[in-house]
C-alpha cells in the first residue's frame, strides 16, 4: 500500500500528532470534540487513530470501535496487516469498547492510551501482555475511494 519503511512512517508524522495527550472524554462524536476539534486538547484512541490516517489521506467517519468493526462499505477486514491498517484490541472478543491503533510496521502499532498518556508504538506482544488488550479482534483496511 505505502512504500515506506517501518521506521519512516512514524518519523513522517507531524510533531502535533506525537504531542497529543490522552483524554478519554474526547472521542469521535463527543461534545468536547464538537466544541474544540483537533488533537490539541487531547483524544481517545479512536480519535487519535483517525487523525493519523487523515495525515496519510485516508479518511473514515468518526466511528466508535464496534461501528468500525461492523463496517463493510469504507473498510474491509484483513487477515494480515499492512502499514496504515487499523487494529482493534480488547479484553474479550467484543468490538464494542475496543482499543484502536494504527499498524506502522511489522508487528508495530502506534496508539494512544491512558497507561502511557501520549502516543506510543508498541509491539503486538506488548498488547498481549496486558489484560485489557489481550484479545486481538482484528485488522481493518480503509478502502481507497475512486
User: Could you give the CA distance from residue 134 to residue 92 in angstroms, rounded to a whole number?
Assistant: 8
Q: Domain-by-domain residue ranges, the chain?
A: 8-142
CB within 8 A of 38, min separation 6: which ones? none
Give the three cell numbers for residue 132. Answer: 485489557
DSSP class of 133: G
104-123 tens-digit pLDDT: 998 999 999 999 999 999 99
User: Could you give the CA distance from residue 141 to residue 130 in angstroms, rounded to a whole number?
Assistant: 24
Of 133 and 37, more confident = 133
- pLDDT, residue 3, reads 52
Q: How many CB atoms lie within 10 A of CB 52?
A: 24
50-108 tens-digit pLDDT: 999 999 999 999 999 999 999 999 999 999 999 999 999 999 999 999 999 999 998 99
Mean pLDDT of the chain: 92
DSSP class of 32: H
User: Could you give the CA distance from residue 33 to residue 20 in angstroms, rounded to a whole number?
Assistant: 14
In CATH, the number for domain 8-142 is 3.90.1720.10
Give the three cell numbers for residue 57. Answer: 489521506
Amino acid at each position: 500500500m505505502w512504500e515506506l519503511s517501518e521506521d519512516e512512517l512514524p518519523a513522517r508524522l507531524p510533531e502535533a500528532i506525537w504531542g497529543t495527550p490522552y483524554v478519554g472524554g474526547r472521542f469521535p462524536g463527543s461534545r468536547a470534540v464538537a466544541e474544540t476539534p483537533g488533537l490539541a486538547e487531547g483524544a481517545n484512541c479512536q480519535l487519535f487513530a483517525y487523525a493519523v490516517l487523515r495525515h496519510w489521506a485516508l479518511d473514515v467517519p468518526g466511528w466508535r470501535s464496534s461501528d468500525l468493526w461492523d463496517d463493510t462499505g469504507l473498510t474491509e477486514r484483513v487477515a494480515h496487516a499492512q502499514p496504515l491498517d487499523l487494529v482493534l484490541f480488547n479484553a474479550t472478543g467484543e468490538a464494542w469498547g475496543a482499543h484502536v491503533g494504527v499498524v506502522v510496521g511489522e508487528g508495530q502499532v502506534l496508539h494512544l492510551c491512558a497507561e502511557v498518556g501520549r502516543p506510543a508504538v508498541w509491539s503486538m506482544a506488548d498488547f498481549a501482555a496486558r489484560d485489557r488488550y489481550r484479545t486481538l479482534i482484528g485488522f481493518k483496511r480503509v478502502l481507497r475511494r475512486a
